[in-house]
Structure 1
Amino acid sequence: MPVVTEKIVDWPAVKPYNKQAIPVPGTKRPGQSAHYRNAIWGLIDETTPNTLVTLDQVFADGMKAGKDHNFLGYRPVISTNPLKFAPAFSWITYGEVDTRRRYVGSTIHNLFQTGELGGGEFQAVGIWAPNCPEWQIIDIALQSYQKVSVSLYDTLGTDSVAYIIEHAHLSIVFSTSDHIPTLLKLASKVPMLRTIVCINPISPEAARVLREWSQTLGLSFKLFSEVEAYGKANLIEPIPAYPDLIASICYTSGTTSNPKGAVLKHKSLAIAAQSNLYGMELPDDACLLSYLPLAHIYERICELCTIAVGGKIGYYTGDPLRLLEDAQILKPNFFPSVPRVLNRVYQAAMVGGNVPGIKGKLFNKALQTKLANLKATGEVTHAFWDRLVFRKIQAVLGGQILLVTSGSAPISADVMNFLKVAFACEVQEGYGMTENCATCSKTWPNDPTAAGTVGPPQPVNEVKVVDVPAMGYTSEDKPNPRGELCVRGANCFGTYYKDAKNTAETVDAEGWIHTGDVAEIDTAGRIKIVDRVKNIMKLSQGEYVALEKIENVYSSTPIVAQLYVHGDGLQSYLVAVLIPDPVQLAALASDVTGTKVLPDDAAALAAACKNPDIVAQALVILTKVAKKQDLKGFELIKRLYLSTDAFSVDNNTMTPTLKIRRKDAYNMYKTEIDALYALGEPASSNKL
């Protein structure tokens, strides 16, 4: 049963799947398409009746569920050696969070008022912690007392941490204890930092050491309990926000340079959440499993939606290996996720289902039956096959999932359709970015042909495409207009903090954000991302290739754990470095060599990566997928290098959002890549 809340707007009785967005008359101009708006709800903004326009309104709406309603959940640690978590979630209620946000907010406001904190353009406060109830309590406190939140990624390198503290002029940072030594070592580089607050429980001895160390550097060290106690004794009523008040500076991880700080207003974040509530169908007591970093905009918007309807949020333990255990205990209804996780779910399910004998036959019969139904009617449930075959897959996430969302990167149509029929629930692919508060478009429920698109514009957005002549994309293309996707709306940012150059390159004079993605707008008004303006390169014969797009196509293959595709402007073909999935590599090596190789035998896997026959067979597997996805001949990987040395944040080849830093990845494998090119282009395409 859907949540009864005035902030959720229901679907019409019949969804117009053939007309999901419509062009606005009179907006077509040379070199660009018409402006497209949502066909059901048009364009909403802060003047639309009953619309959320500030973040304190979001929390106030959540409070309507009742002060005793569970809100923030976590699994307490019951043993540190060995590390062990409680077998159930503990909960903090809405009423308890209301009290604690007042305590925290009152302390912060007092410290700025007395001059103990401050000195920058904004009263900015840093949060450096993994997902946990305290993160959300601090953020709600900042929203409630007109402060500006600045998230530090949990995986940021020290250089970026120092850059953001200095750039945003953070005089106070709330941090978990594991990051505090790093902050103290950076103290001389960031003289504006005056106070550090430890948000997790630590021993009295550890607190004493950190306090004394801080004092030697002229810094104030506080425990979270001390901040709350001071606020309780010096209570101030929350200070109402207004729509144009700055709420957050959200830094995007750069692949080549320092992070850019997107300045986000209360109305931008609140109305982004409101837009996502149009057509959202969640049950009473809706529960979200939180594992994507709260420092990133996608997870924040998903949690704001959950708060607005009075739902609850369960935070995972922080250990990716325990994520499924957390899900099975929490039994969430809402699972915001990303392709790199959903691809693994798909790969594991396909490997587990495609087995010899009756089990494999039943799996394939069930899958083909449900896929046929999906493509014919949009229906994702099947009374018989769900009970017999797919119940076990659904149980992996707790058995009560109703909504899975995928964002942050493209995901293949095959994976999307599989997830819909396997989980027997709505699986939405959305498109957004930090600059529009993770909100631009998303697919509609039960749309039979949605896979491969990211749906129509959301109610808060209008979109258009602008010609990209160098890549051959134009708004006059047939059958559908194509070009760089541009988006505009009340959720969109206006500036990068202290960065006029990047602002001018991203936002034009009419307020359109130029996304850097090439899109096609189909006859139903849905957006399909087809290429990338940025990170494109030209091969020696003059063909443009979008390397990230190609990597995403190949990444649906079970053998791919990581893939870096490389192009050289002096060469006519692409090469790649593949970090294979250990289980798949072991199976492939066993098959090719006739000798059993185990997934946990590191030496044998490393040796397999050097075996030319295994490398050749891996390339055959990749090529088969590429051709199925209709990659052009010049987009195919022609030579391949296998390695077990993965790309990571630690070796500086990945950003905190797990995107490959292309220059650093190339440098890591420069010798091997150059050697592939030294072999020359193969005489013919890889045999299938």
Structure 2
Amino acid sequence: MSTHRSIPLPENVDYKKQSEQVPGTKRPGQTAHYRNAIFGFHDLNTPGSLTTLTEIFETGLGLSRDLSLLGHRPLVSANPVKYADHYVWQTWAEVDVRRHNLGSAIHALFQDGTLGGGDLPTVGIWSQNRPGAYLLMHVRAVSQWQIVEWALNAYAKVGVSLYDTLGRDSVGKTPIINHAHITVVFATANHIADLVKLSPRIPHLKLIVSMDEIDPEVKKVLSTWAETLGVGIREMCELEAFGEAHPLDPIPAKSDQVASICYTSGTTNMPKGAILTHGLLAAATQSNLYGYAIPPDVRGVLLSYLPLAHIYERINGLCVIAMGGCIGFFTGDPLRLLEDAQILRPNFFPSVPRVLNRIYQAAMVAGSAPGLKGAIFRRALEAKLHRLRTTGENTHALWDRLVFRKIQALLGGNIKLLTSGSAPISAEVVDFLKIAFSCDVLEGTLVLTPISRRYGMTENGAVATRCMPGDSTSGGTVGPPQPVVEIKLVDVPTMHYTSEDKPFPRGELCCRGASCFVSYYKDEKNTKETVDDEGWLHTGDVAEVDAYGRFRIIDRVKNIMKLSQGEYVALEKIENTYSTNPLIGQIFVYGDSLQSYLVAVIVPDPIQFAALASRVVGRPVSPEDAESLRTLARDRDVVQALLAELTKEGEKSLKGFELVKRIHVSLDPFNVEDNTLTPTLKIRRKDAYNKYKAELDALYALGEPSAASLRASKL
């Protein structure tokens, strides 16, 4: 068995040639096909490539059999809540036994007809990627989500994630369980009663498996209730014990075998089930190992707190598994996340902008400190940023030791790779993180921005492009194609983007390769709208390719609307542009085709908003003082000051008609529970409009502000 650790960049990389065009592929209305010029083009037939999820696990097992794999901090006290100051681990060998035991039991239930009956052997998973031990002081409860999925992979079953963030009522409203013909759901104890309640509406459901141990009396009540509805309730430990007593041989996986149906959350309230095969997920993992920023001699240690139901976290985890690394889970409490990091000391920290922005903001406080301390920090920051932007180097022997090791200690002091996903993050913050942690920082966000560092989506396994480590001029780009995909740009005439544009070709970004899906599950209409007859995935994003072969996301084909003067605007692109400002927690941009300008609802970041409001009103405002913040959100001067900050941000890259002219400020966030956010935290536009219809209509009733008033607001 070959070993799969990170594959380093070749020596003497030519950063001026990161993509190459495939000869003979240029056609009218589109560019030639672009492939990675540094690592070349790879597929599942490339020698040494990973081809299935079981191969990924067994590769890691071969590297680290007796080493740690899954860890958690045990709960020491429930009242008050207290966790141990160390992690407790299961080894690779122990987890291997558990996946075979559980997989044997699941397979037996499908074999005897207790489960199944659909065209695919689907199994639902409804859980946060939680260690379980924050509810129970029970080591076997650790990382049930991962163990269930690995058991399914080994026994030819198809996992279907039921987003934990959907909320209890949403699961009943969505068609996922019925659409995928799910007969068994693995769920955490807090979801079992909800599933029983929903069972009359999901007639295929036959079995609910609790990932936690349940109090015997509670289990008796739930089981009696469920039996009247034709549903059984078992505990996961029971199935593992059965499988241990009745072992079955694993079923060898094939690359074209369906491993998962990943339902995209759907901004139109209708989820689409992307069919993800073993080969697709293996290719996505393999592709990320090329130029992986964790050095080959470092055993990957991942801190997991992002939802495993999302493709971003799943691919991150698979990369660590392929390297024989280990995964430590957070306690389940976001307020203890930094504490978890300091105890685990991870070297891989996939994160989200809200967390990384807080680290940046906290560090910037040091820069504003008076006297020598602040002066030293500012000097260190200036020196390291200059070095990064001129040479690409992000280390400095003096300043790292004197200044930045304190920031590095926030995440345990051992970080080698930071990634950001789920929302935009500013280039300023990315550069700061690079020099503060002396590591590579890649944006793996599925929400695209002009300053993305990496580009991907569920339908291509989160793999399309990525900036190359060491490329000091890559700012503003998403890098070249990753090794398993090829990319082309197709003309968008209605938006005046063409493959013949100068100085650089522009058009809708389309990708094709081993990491790209083929179809949505039982959804021919959406499949045909997304994948063409030649297998090209049409992303809906507009890009241009620069002289070095790097791509830049510049617009959106989707969510286009026309203003009354005839100008087309891409609402998502505008939202992403404004979202790079730290003041923005959430933003919903709205346009009425009978009006000549845009308006928006802004949910500000409380810390940044409090600082802005303090400057405007001339007195301190605490970010914890919710009542004062709500009052100030209605203050005309504060609102105008916030709009002025947004206008400065927008004028960096937006045209005049794309700028938001009036805003409503709210401290009531868009959320999954009120259906204004999808589970992957994208705005559901229709529901967001309905929530704020009165406020948006009132903004338009005020009329378009004059150019003079806009200038005055910026003074």
User: Fold-level match, TM-score > 0.5?
Assistant: yes
Any idea what SS the aligned residue of 1:65 has?
helix
Any idea what SS the aligned residue of 2:662 has?
strand
1:146-545 alignment, distance < 5 Å: 146-157=156-167, 158-160=169-171, 162-282=174-294, 283-428=297-442, 429-545=453-569
CA–CA separation in structure 1 for the residues paired with 2:668 and 2:90:
42
Deviations 1:264-289 (A, max 9, x none): 11111111101111122424321011
1:32-181 alignment, distance < 5 Å: 32-132=30-130, 133-157=143-167, 158-160=169-171, 162-181=174-193
CA–CA separation in structure 1 for the residues paired with 2:531 and 2:361:
39
Deviations 1:624-662 (A, max 9, x none): 2222x3222112221111121111111211111111111
Query: What is the one-letter code of the residue matched to 1:272?
Result: A
Tell me if structure 2 keeps the 8 A contact 1:331–1:401.
yes
Tell me if structure 1 keeps the 8 A contact 2:166–2:673.
no
Cα displacement (A) at 1:213 = 2.1
Cα displacement (A) at 1:356 = 4.2
- Structure 1 segments, 4+ long, off by >6 Å, are none
Number of aligned positions between the proteins: 684
CA–CA separation in structure 1 for the residues paired with 2:592 and 2:357:
29
Cα displacement (A) at 1:11 = 1.6
CA–CA separation in structure 1 for the residues paired with 2:570 and 2:410:
35
Stretch moving more, 402-411 or 576-585: 402-411
Residue in 1 that maps onto 2:137: none
Cα displacement (A) at 1:340 = 4.1
Tell me if structure 1 keeps the 8 A contact 2:520–2:527.
yes
Tell me if structure 2 keeps the 8 A contact 1:408–1:431.
no
Cα displacement (A) at 1:33 = 0.7
CA–CA separation in structure 2 for the residues paired with 1:451 and 1:208:
59
Query: What is the one-letter code of the residue matched to 1:529?
Result: I
1:583-602 alignment, distance < 5 Å: 583-602=607-626
CA–CA separation in structure 2 for the residues paired with 1:467 and 1:355:
52
CA–CA separation in structure 2 for the residues paired with 1:505 and 1:30:
21
Tell me if structure 2 keeps the 8 A contact 1:407–1:432.
no
**Which residue of the other structure, out of 605, 621, 625, is the alignment partner of 2:645?**
621
Would the alpha carbon gap of residues 193 and 518 (structure 1) be closer, same or farther in structure 2, given more than 3 Å must change?
Answer: same
Query: What is the one-letter code of the residue matched to 1:200?
Result: D
Tell me if structure 2 keeps the 8 A contact 1:626–1:636.
yes
Residue in 2 that maps onto 1:672: 695
Stretch moving more, 161-170 or 151-160: 151-160
Residue in 2 that maps onto 1:633: 656
Tell me if structure 2 keeps the 8 A contact 1:406–1:430.
no
Query: What is the one-letter code of the residue matched to 1:135?
Result: W
Tell me if structure 2 keeps the 8 A contact 1:407–1:431.
no
Residue in 1 that maps onto 2:634: 610
Any idea what SS the aligned residue of 1:317 has?
coil
Would the alpha carbon gap of residues 587 and 409 (structure 1) be closer, same or farther in structure 2, given more than 3 Å must change?
Answer: closer
Cα displacement (A) at 1:64 = 1.2
CA–CA separation in structure 2 for the residues paired with 1:45 and 1:213:
51
Stretch moving more, 358-367 or 514-523: 358-367
Deviations 1:411-443 (A, max 9, x none): 332222222112210112321111111111111
Query: What is the one-letter code of the residue matched to 1:49?
Result: P
Would the alpha carbon gap of residues 407 and 456 (structure 1) be closer, same or farther in structure 2, given more than 3 Å must change?
Answer: farther
Tell me if structure 1 keeps the 8 A contact 2:21–2:33.
yes
CA–CA separation in structure 1 for the residues paired with 2:613 and 2:5:
55
**Which residue of the other structure, out of 619, 636, 651, is the alignment partner of 2:674?**
651
Would the alpha carbon gap of residues 407 and 443 (structure 1) be closer, same or farther in structure 2, given more than 3 Å must change?
Answer: farther
Cα displacement (A) at 1:616 = 1.0
Tell me if structure 2 keeps the 8 A contact 1:411–1:552.
no
Deviations 1:303-345 (A, max 9, x none): 1111011000111122222211111111111112233443443
Stretch moving more, 156-165 or 484-493: 156-165
Any idea what SS the aligned residue of 1:149 has?
strand
Deviations 1:365-418 (A, max 9, x none): 222222221111111111122222222222221111101123444433222222
Query: What is the one-letter code of the residue matched to 1:401?
Result: I
Query: What is the one-letter code of the residue matched to 1:460?
Result: V
CA–CA separation in structure 2 for the residues paired with 1:637 and 1:357:
40
Stretch moving more, 640-649 or 80-89: 80-89
Cα displacement (A) at 1:203 = 2.1
Query: What is the one-letter code of the residue matched to 1:342?
Result: L
Cα displacement (A) at 1:6 = 4.2
Structure 2, unaligned runs of 5 or more? 131-142, 443-452
Structure 1, unaligned runs of 5 or more? none
CA–CA separation in structure 2 for the residues paired with 1:532 and 1:354:
38
Stretch moving more, 157-166 or 176-185: 157-166
Tell me if structure 1 keeps the 8 A contact 2:303–2:327.
yes
Tell me if structure 1 keeps the 8 A contact 2:585–2:605.
yes
Matched, 1:559 2:573: no
Tell me if structure 1 keeps the 8 A contact 2:464–2:511.
yes
Any idea what SS the aligned residue of 1:43 has?
coil
CA–CA separation in structure 2 for the residues paired with 1:466 and 1:408:
26
Query: What is the one-letter code of the residue matched to 1:675?
Result: A
Residue in 2 that maps onto 1:18: 16
CA–CA separation in structure 2 for the residues paired with 1:587 and 1:56:
51
Tell me if structure 1 keeps the 8 A contact 2:366–2:377.
no
Cα displacement (A) at 1:7 = 5.0
Tell me if structure 2 keeps the 8 A contact 1:412–1:452.
no
Tell me if structure 2 keeps the 8 A contact 1:575–1:637.
yes
Tell me if structure 2 keeps the 8 A contact 1:347–1:557.
no
Deviations 1:148-195 (A, max 9, x none): 111111011434455111000010000001111111111001110000
Tell me if structure 2 keeps the 8 A contact 1:7–1:51.
no
Cα displacement (A) at 1:572 = 1.3
Any idea what SS the aligned residue of 1:99 has?
helix
CA–CA separation in structure 2 for the residues paired with 1:78 and 1:205:
24
Deviations 1:503-537 (A, max 9, x none): 00000000000001111111111111111111222
Residue in 1 that maps onto 2:136: none
Cα displacement (A) at 1:139 = 0.5
Deviations 1:233-290 (A, max 9, x none): 1101111101111111111100113110011111111111011111224243210111
Percent identity, aligned pairs only?
Answer: 61
CA–CA separation in structure 2 for the residues paired with 1:547 and 1:257:
18
Cα displacement (A) at 1:447 = 0.8
Over the aligned positions, Cα root-mean-square deviation in angstroms equals: 1.6
Q: Give TM-score scaled by structure 2 length.
A: 0.93
